[in-house]
């Protein structure tokens, strides 16, 4: 079945450092790819998405490019802030899987220190 | 901006008791979902619901679970006889028909003692 593999955390960075969180996927069809963020004590918020190969999703300084050849959707940010501290989840939605439930990775906890 | 809401935010119950978790999806959305997240683990799909019936369910969603849309706004998850291992955060999500983006509620933390 479909699956998402994420870089294990936790990740601790200093403010203004460069962030990469790796995500690779396995899917039978042509999935849409998502990054969700979970701030402490809150629910899941959509951060960005990409629906087809070579699409780049971006939001709040975060970017991820849908790479079909490497089945990857790595999350990057050029300069992290303390307010970016959260858990980041990579997910896919495969249109061939009925009512498109999301398949999540295990999540990567990011801590940014001042 | 419209959002998915869930009540209660935290529910504590005794093993064997029934619980009902409530969700109000975004008003023009047509597809509804329940997911759960056991502490420290990944978010797992439970069930999807469309046109007043279950469209897909996972292995986790056994006979102890049921979902209902009792009126035009609420979407509920019932656990008939809770077990210790049902302790988790339960998320409701919804989406419109024309997009595959799901919007999540803040979650209900269920603690089974």
A23-79 pLDDT, tens per residue? 999 998 789 999 999 998 788 999 999 999 999 999 999 999 999 999 999 999 999
C-beta separation of B108 from B20 below 8 A? no
- Distance CA(A101)–CA(A106), nearest Å, equals 16
3-state secondary structure at position A83: helix
pLDDT higher than 60, residue A97 = no
Q: How many CB pairs (< 8 A) connect A and B?
A: 58
CA distance to partner chain B, nearest, from residue A72 (Å): 19
Average pLDDT, chain A: 92
B1 touches chain A (CB under 8 A): no
- Distance CA(B75)–CA(B77), nearest Å, equals 7
Asked if residue A113 has a cis previous peptide bond (ω within 30° of 0), the answer is no
Helices (H), B21-100: none
CB–CB of A43 and B41 under 8 A?
no
C-beta separation of B95 from B89 below 8 A? no
CB–CB of A99 and B42 under 8 A?
no
pLDDT higher than 80, residue A101 = yes
B58 touches chain A (CB under 8 A): yes
pLDDT higher than 60, residue A96 = no
B42 touches chain A (CB under 8 A): yes
pLDDT, position B100: 82
- Option in A43, A101, A105 nearest B105 (CB): A43
pLDDT higher than 60, residue B110 = yes
pLDDT-derived band at B75, boundaries 50, 70, 90 = very high
């Amino acid at each position: 079945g479909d699956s998402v593999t994420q870089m294990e955390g936790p990740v601790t960075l200093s403010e203004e450092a460069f962030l990469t969180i790796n995500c690779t996927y396995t899917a039978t069809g042509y999935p849409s790819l998502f990054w969700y963020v979970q701030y402490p004590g809150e629910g899941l918020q959509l951060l960005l998405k990409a629906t087809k190969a070579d699409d780049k999703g971006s939001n709040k300084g975060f970017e991820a490019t849908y790479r079909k050849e490497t089945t990857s959707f790595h999350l990057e940010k050029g300069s992290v802030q303390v307010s970016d501290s959260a858990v980041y989840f990579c997910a896919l939605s495969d249109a061939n899987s009925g009512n498109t439930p999301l398949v999540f990775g295990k999540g990567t906890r990011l801590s940014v220190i001042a | 901006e419209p959002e998915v809401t869930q009540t209660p935010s935290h529910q504590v119950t005794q093993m064997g008791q029934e619980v009902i978790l409530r969700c109000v999806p975004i008003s023009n959305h047509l597809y509804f979902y329940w997911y759960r997240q056991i502490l420290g683990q990944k978010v797992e799909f439970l069930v999807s619901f469309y046109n007043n019936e279950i469209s897909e369910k996972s292995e986790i969603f056994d006979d102890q679970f049921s979902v209902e849309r009792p009126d035009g706004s609420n979407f509920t998850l019932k656990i008939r006889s809770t077990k210790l291992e049902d302790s988790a955060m339960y998320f409701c999500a919804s989406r419109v028909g024309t997009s595959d983006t799901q919007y999540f509620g803040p979650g209900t933390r269920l603690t089974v003692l």
